[in-house]
Amino acid sequence: MVNSLSSLVPMMNVQKGKFRLVMGIQDLKAYFGVATRKEDPELLKFINQQFAEMKSNGELAELQKKWFGETMETPNEVPTKLP
pLDDT at 2: 65
Q: Contact at 8 Å (CB) between 60 and 54?
A: yes
Higher pLDDT, 80 or 76: 76
pLDDT at 1: 57
pLDDT at 13: 83
The 10s digit of each residue's pLDDT in 16-54 is: 888 777 766 666 666 777 788 889 989 988 988 998 999
Q: Contact at 8 Å (CB) between 60 and 51?
A: yes
C-alpha triplet 31, 34, 37: angle, nearest 5°: 140
| Nearest-angstrom CA–CA distance, 75 and 10 | 22
DSSP string, 18-30: S------SSS---
Annotate 11-23 with b (16+ C-beta within 10 A) or e (fewer): ebeeeeeeeeeee
pLDDT at 63: 94
The 10s digit of each residue's pLDDT in 64-78 is: 999 888 888 888 776
pLDDT at 55: 94
Q: Smallest Cα–Cα separation from 46: which of 74, 75, 78? A: 78
pLDDT at 54: 95
